């Protein structure tokens, strides 16, 4: 389960920035995860309390924003949001595409005092 190591990385990042900003307790962490990022949000939600235990982020709420898939057809250059990860271009029917959004995973913000 790579979500455990991802959760550890998120925790490390938040704890480091909380230390820099002199935040004594983090109450909320907001992250973006693309639908094509190969990350299981439920597994990440399960792991987060484990990796934050004993840190300034212990007990923090993890908020996950899902980022929709957006692609550009490499044949006709149409940009579209496919309904699934394997869907043809609605304009020309090609499967050749470049993913523009939907693979990202990033910490957007954290709240604390």
One-letter-per-residue 3-state SS of 43-93: HHHHHHHHHHCCCCCCCCEEEEEEECCEEEECCCCCEECCCCCCCCCCCCC
* Strand 26-34 to 61-67 pairing: parallel
2-68+102-112 has which fold? hypothetical protein PF0899 fold (3.30.2320)
Query: Digits of tens for pLDDT over the chain (113 positions)?
Result: 589 999 999 999 999 999 999 999 999 999 999 999 999 999 999 999 999 999 999 999 999 999 999 999 999 999 999 998 889 999 999 999 999 999 999 999 999 98
Can you tell me the distance from the alpha carbon of 102 to that of 50, in angstroms, rounded to the nearest whole number? Answer: 27
Q: Are 69 and 34 in contact (CB under 8 A)?
A: yes
State the pLDDT at residue 85. 85
């Amino acid at each position: 389960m790579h979500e455990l190591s991802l959760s550890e990385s998120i925790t490390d990042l938040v704890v480091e920035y909380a230390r820099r900003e002199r935040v004594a307790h983090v109450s909320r962490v907001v992250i973006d995860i693309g639908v094509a990022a190969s990350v299981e949000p439920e597994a990440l939600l399960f792991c987060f309390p484990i990796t934050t235990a004993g840190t300034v982020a212990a007990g923090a709420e993890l908020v996950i924003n899902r980022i929709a898939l957006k692609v550009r057809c490499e044949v006709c250059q149409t940009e579209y949001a496919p309904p699934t990860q394997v869907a043809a271009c609605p304009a020309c029917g090609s499967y050749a595409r470049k993913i523009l959004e939907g693979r990202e995973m990033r910490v957007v913000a954290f709240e604390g005092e």
